[in-house]
């Protein structure tokens, strides 16, 4: 595995792969099994695999603690070597933002990024879209891999690729969960023992909506009320939002669900903001 810290070095290393197809997994490091699942998928579907580790300051609000984001580069490098990564891109902030993070040109997603997570974190998706666009331009991969756990991020990236004609295929990998259902996330490390014990309420809430949907429940308000009820029964869970939205546009569904939907939510438990989602397929027959 080659470790590259500059754009020029990465491009030279990529050129040595010749015409081989490249799969790309962008990360902020502190890797877990969810990342490794994406890397394994990329390994199976491409001739080469590139991974980036870059904690992107542009997607953190001034009130967020950027320095507290967990980091362990040596552990990450070892995991990536074992997973079969070919190119590891690990730039510093100046390499990606040579004039600082106050950029003249950014990628600003509109309505799809102004709701749900975007309503609570107004700068977040501009930071995500900008850095991902830059990484796509640097890496020049045929395919890029993202986890369904960050469902709104997936929708934003898909829309950006479509609207800006970026030549990369977006591959969405199912959420990888702990045994108790909690979606794997680097931010889970923020939780103490009591908070970690409360955290599976997130998946229970989503599962309650999925179960109601599978049993034939199709009224969006009923599913939202079901999720909120489960969350509010957990004293440590501070609910930000619950949503039943169109799976592509993320527009809230009013009334009967007649298309693929995404049940999603965000809660604050201690220092950790936990987000998760499940896709509700409209073609699923009641009871199946």
Please tell me whether residue 69 adopts helix, strand or coil conformation. Answer: coil
- Which region holds residue 18: left if phi is over 0, alpha if psi is between -120 and 50, else beta? left
For 279, list phi and psi in degrees, rounded to 5. -90, 130
Q: Measure Cα distances from 150 to 5, 9, 102, 275 in Å.
A: 27, 30, 26, 7
Residues 42 and 30: their CA atoms lie apart, in Å, by 19
Per the residue annotation, which of 14, 35, 90, 124 is the catalytic one?
35
Is 32 considered catalytic here? Answer: no
Pairing of strands 143-147, 22-27: parallel
Please tell me whether residue 22 adopts helix, strand or coil conformation. Answer: strand
Rg (CA), the chain: 19
| Helix or strand holding residue 146 (H, E) | strand 143-147
**Residues with a known catalytic role:** 35
């Amino acid at each position: 595995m080659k470790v590259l810290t500059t754009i020029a070095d990465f491009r030279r290393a990529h050129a040595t792969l010749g015409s081989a197809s490249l799969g790309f997994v962008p990360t902020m490091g502190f890797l877990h099994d969810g990342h490794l699942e994406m890397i394994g998928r990329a390994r199976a579907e491409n001739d080469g695999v590139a991974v980036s580790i870059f904690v992107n300051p542009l997607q953190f609000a001034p009130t967020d603690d950027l320095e507290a984001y967990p980091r362990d580069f040596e552990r990450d490098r070892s995991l990536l070597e074992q997973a079969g990564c070919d190119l590891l891109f690990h730039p510093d902030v100046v390499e990606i933002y040579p004039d600082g993070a106050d950029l003249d040109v950014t990628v600003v997603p509109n309505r799809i990024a102004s709701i749900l997570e975007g309503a609570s974190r107004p700068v977040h998706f501009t930071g995500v879209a900008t850095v991902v666009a830059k990484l796509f331009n640097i890496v020049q991969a045929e395919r890029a891999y993202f986890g369904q756990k960050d469902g709104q991020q997936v929708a934003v990236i898909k829309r950006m690729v479509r609207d800006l004609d970026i030549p990369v295929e977006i591959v969405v990998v199912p959420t990888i969960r702990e045994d108790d259902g909690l979606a794997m996330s680097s931010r889970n490390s923020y939780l103490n023992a009591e908070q970690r014990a409360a955290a599976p309420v997130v998946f229970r809430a989503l599962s309650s909506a999925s179960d109601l949907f599978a049993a034939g429940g199709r009224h969006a308000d009923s599913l939202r009320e079901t999720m909120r009820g489960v969350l509010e029964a957990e004293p440590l869970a501070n609910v930000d939002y619950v949503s039943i939205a169109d799976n592509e546009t993320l527009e809230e569904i009013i009334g009967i669900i007649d298309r693929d939907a995404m049940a999603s939510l965000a809660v604050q438990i201690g220092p950790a903001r936990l987000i998760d989602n499940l896709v509700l397929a409209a073609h699923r027959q009641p009871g199946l």
